[in-house]
Structure 1
Amino acid sequence: MKTYELILPCHFGLEAVTKREITELGYETTEVIDGRVSFLGDADAIARANVFLRTAERVLLKVGSFRAESWEELFQGTRALPWEAFLPKDASFWVTKASSIKSKLFSTRDIQSIMKKAMVARMGEYYHESWFEEHGAKYPVRAFLHKDLVTVCLDTSGESLHKRGYRLKMGKAPITETLAAALILLTGWRADRPFLDPMCGSGTFPIEAAMLAANIAPGMDRAFLSEAWENLIPKKLWYDVLEEANELVNRELLRNGVDASGKRVDIQGYDIDPEIIRVCRENAERAGVEKLIHFQTRDVAELSHHGRGGTLLTNPPYGERIEDKRNLPMFYTELREGFEGLDHWNMHLITAWEDAQRYLGKADKNRKIYNGMMKTYLYSYRAKA
């Protein structure tokens, strides 16, 4: 089976988590740069990466790369790529997105237009056609220009991988499923320990934790654009990968919420808004993990938990979209006081509020992470001896 270079966009600052996921899936990474991790894999790897990876935003199949400092070089470089090896004659193809950083070519609309013309020219030469109806499967192209190096990829995922299919309703300032999963993995939480989000919004952190506990592959219940690429990925591969994912799910845990040792999984989510708690329960039911999570209406000032040695992970307000910053000192103080009352817990929170440590205390570790284009910090507090 042919081997491809696959590129996985991910959150800036969390590349190491995605790299670890790739390794655990059985592949070896070839490059790690800001916001992207690459590895080599065949058609089976494309399907498995889409279905199993929790932290990648997309799975991109690299078509090729070249240098371009002029529009003519962009046209000729794109035209020189072996498009006929990837696109059938009836393919629907277009440059869905182009980005340019520190490159002489920076007009994304012009980049998209010129690359499309070059692709048509190459396809025309191969298929001896001057016009393509493009009524077949969709093959969206993504181009990245960085310091005049053009990297050209096909998007195998379609919709972003954070769209698992369970979160039809959201609260204010939601965190994406891929970022939530990455942060849970970063904390090192294990399913035999308590997990709590005291400001759970639409329930993303608890739901992703429950999916991890039950070993539910995040892409099991959604479709991918490349399922229609039968010229590159045989349909049987998708069935095989989904069968693999189904066999790995811990059905016993999902039925009764108890692990192999007889211990009940303890995952909880609190929010002050009873309506958003109803949304959490609906989302958890769609994800199939409703029996693993206890949601309840509770103010952060009432934060408590009877368990020992758990993980608190949350995405608190930071004054940008939820409430005025004047309320934040009291809010973060209440969070700190609640954490101090827990028995040997670790606390991790992601926030853009720069004064957070003033009221939480100095973090044992802080990590800069980009939530989309917003710079945030993950503050981590270890259990006190």
Structure 2
Amino acid sequence: MNTYVALCAVGAEKILGNEIKQLGYTLAGNAPGRVAFTGDDDALYRANFCLRTSDRVYIQMAKYHAEDFDELFENCSLVDWQDVFKKDSRIVVDKVRTYKSKLNSEHSIQGMVQKAIYKKLGFVWKMSVLPESGEQCDVRVYIDQNEVSILLDTSGEALHKRGYRTDGGIAPLRETTAAVLLQEMMWRRKTPLHDPFCGSGTIANEAVLYAHNVAPGLGRHFAYEHLAIYNQNRAVEIKKQEAAKIRTDVECRITGSDIDPAAVERAKLNAEHACVTAGRALQLIGSDARIERPDFIVSDFRDLRAPYEKGLLLCNPPYGERIGDAEQAAELYKDMAQLFTDFPGWDLGVITSQKSFQSSIGKHARLLKSLKAGNLDTTLYIYN
């Protein structure tokens, strides 16, 4: 069994933990923005393919106590790095994070860990200089209260980059954040879903993938493909297993709207890419089935009316951060109050960084969830 560490937005640890458990793996503790779990070798592939709310998946290569650089170096050099790297790998310690530890110089820690890895590889392979002509492999170091965790990146590009969104517009919502919102709202595929500020269509597109049980990573590549531990045949086999789980027999009512025609066109294009990617995964198992596309229309939210008695409105309206200003956002939120009248019986979820949202919309939410969205501290306001 291996220990893995999945990163996520701060505030999404519980949801990510539930996802990991549903994959059949055992949780092994968490910290803000990180969830550790144990799993077999297949978890390397399955976690990257399937986790909707994780930003990256790492293998934990070492975990030990260190209060000085000698302990940091010696314990790092005990790791069997030769088992995971190729002889031409270019190894980079890309990030260091320390918290309440005696070792707190991030630059020095970075250099010491990299030196220990290269010394071990040079000793085992009997090479004084490694060529470093191959693919880059990233290592990350966390030191929490003198406990060192050395992690090897298996994802490469962040997992929110599913590959289907070619244009996110001005202020796109991360795909992983959209997946978190759907889970926080406890949305189910039979419930009508509408995003009245759809932008590039991220919420609707993530809902489509979730509703049809499409693993979000089926259409992209990962950093593990450059490691010595990569088993291509096994990775393809697991990809086919996940493709076989795609549901094409479900009926969904997933829609979005935006006042900007260009945004609606982006949303439609991104939805097409997402569904085509799912279709290609189905072709791996000999299926020509088609994934239902969400519907997007050009409309001001003020002109919308509920098409069904019950449903979910879930949206990421302008915060006044990158689009407009805080005063304009407050006016917009005030107008959003009519959604309670125009969509009676519907639940409403709104994510924003503006603390004045509740006073602007004129109604207190049943539940508030804090979530880090990129570099912004945001809150999901949940109304029932």
> TM (normalized to structure 1)?
0.91
Deviation for aligned residue 1:283: 0.5
| 1:177 Cα deviation from its structure 2 partner | 0.5
Name the CA distance, whole Å, in 1 between partners of 2:111 and 2:364. 50
- Pairwise CA distance, 1:153: 0.7
2:247 aligns with one of 237, 240, 250 = 250
In structure 2, the partner of 1:256 is none
Q: Secondary structure at the match of 2:244?
A: helix
Amino acid in structure 1 at the alignment position of 2:150: V
Q: Is the 1:352–1:377 Cα contact (8 Å) retained in structure 2? A: yes
Q: Do 1:303 and 1:339's aligned partners in 2 also have CA atoms closer than 8 Å?
A: no
Contact 1:303–1:335 (8 Å) recurs in 2: no
Specify the SS of the correspondent of 1:280.
helix
Specify the SS of the correspondent of 1:288. helix
Where in structure 2 are the equivalents of 1:194-209 lying within 5 Å?
Answer: 194-209=192-207
Superposed counterparts of 1:219-298, under 5 Å: 219-229=217-227, 231-251=228-248, 253=249, 259=250, 264-288=251-275, 291-298=292-299
Counterpart of 1:378, as a letter, is L
Letter in 2 for 1:270: S
Q: 2:141 aligns with which of 140, 143, 151?
A: 143
Q: CA deviation at 1:96?
A: 1.9
Q: Which residue of 1 aligns with 2:367?
A: 365
CA distance in 2, matches of 1:71, 1:332: 53
2:350 is aligned to 349
Deviation at 1:320, TM superposition (A): 1.8
Measure, in 1, the Cα distance between the counterparts of 2:226 and 2:99: 32
SS at structure 1 position matched to 2:219: coil
Partner Cα separation in structure 2 for residue 66 and residue 23 of structure 1: 26
1:337 aligns with 2:338: yes
Using the TM superposition, give the Cα deviation of residue 105 of structure 1 relative to its aligned residue in structure 2, in angstroms: 3.2
Aligned residue in 2 for 1:211 = 209
| Corresponding pairs, count | 369
Q: CA separation in 2, counterparts of 1:107 and 1:46?
A: 31
SS of the residue corresponding to residue 43 of structure 1 reads coil
Structure 1 stretches of 4+ with a deviation exceeding 4 A read none
Is the 2:194–2:255 contact (alpha carbons within 8 Å) kept by the matching residues of 1? yes
Contact map agreement 2:272 2:293 (CA 8 A) in 1: no
| Rounded Cα–Cα distance in structure 1 between residues aligned with 2:170 and 2:303 | 21
Aligned match for 1:76, one of 58, 74, 77: 74
Q: CA RMSD in A?
A: 1.7
Shift of 1:149: 2.1
Question: What's the counterpart of residue 62 of structure 1?
Answer: 60
Is 1:181 the equivalent of 2:179?
yes
Match of residue 310 from structure 2: 309
Preserved CA contact (<8 Å) 1:65 1:152: yes
In the alignment, is the contact (CA less than 8 A) between 1:92 and 1:134 conserved in 2? yes
Task: Name the amino acid aligned to 1:341.
Answer: D
- CA–CA separation in structure 1 for the residues paired with 2:378 and 2:63: 32
Aligned to 1:17: 15
Structure 1 residue 58 displacement after superposition = 0.8
Aligned-partner SS, 1:169: coil
Q: Which runs of 5+ in 2 are unaligned?
A: 277-290
CA contact (8 A) 1:270 1:296 kept: yes
Question: Hey, what's the Cα distance between the residues in 2 that align with 1:358 and 1:207?
Answer: 31
